[in-house]
Amino acid sequence: MSLDGVAISAPAGGIDADALVVDLFRTQARSLVRLARIFTDDRDAAEDIVQEAFIRLHRAAKTIRDPARAPAFLRSIVLNLARDHNRRGLMSFRHRAAGASSDVISGIEDEAVEATDPAMLEALRSLSTRQRECLVLRYYLELSDAEIADTIGISVNSVKTHTRRAMGALGARLSQPEVTP
């Protein structure tokens, strides 16, 4: 078996959970931290989310029949954990002082976030969850429509619809003149 160009040996009893998790960690961890960082606005939380996602993947590895679907399953876990984190921490985001930055961004894992215009991040956060997920998975992780659909559990046509609507909403939001109080 091969996963993203990395050979995964499958013992007679099924998938080798340890090998699967190690191989996915080598190939996916950095991009997953970037993904979680965009959704949580907290580097430490993003790293914790990815760590928890790998733990959950390892626990569920015996149930994975097709190792090629494991990356989508892992991304789905990360997105769900990021949603849970945001639900729990919503009050802290609402009460954050205007203009206050989150923790200091450092490390190569956060290049995508550092390079992103703060207005763009704010506009992304204003989108619906599905729209935001589709855009981030498409343009930050460069996934295909089919990979996005597999990751978030919707049809390819729904991915296209959410992406189109999100691009329209971002265009409208970013073309508005900034109002300074």
Does 103 score more than 90 pLDDT?
no
Q: Note whether 132 and 165 are same-domain residues.
A: yes
**Largest interatomic CA distance in the chain:** 66
Q: Is residue 32, in this structure, part of any structural domain at all?
A: yes
Q: Which pLDDT does position 113 carry in this prediction?
A: 54
CATH, residue 5? 1.10.1740
Q: Is residue 109, in this structure, part of any structural domain at all?
A: no
CA–CA dist 70, 154 (Å, integer): 17
CA neighbours within 13 Å on the CB side: how many for 99?
2
Return all residues near 73 (Cβ < 8 A) that are at least 6 apart.
57, 60, 64
pLDDT tens, position by position, 140-165: 888 999 999 999 999 999 999 999 99
Lowest mean pLDDT among 9-13, 15-19, 26-30, 166-170: 9-13
CA–CA dist 92, 136 (Å, integer): 23
Q: Given pLDDT bands bounded at 50, 70 and 90, which one contains residue 121? A: confident
Higher pLDDT, 30 or 116: 30
CATH, residue 134? 1.10.10.10
The parent domain of residue 167 ranges over: 116-176
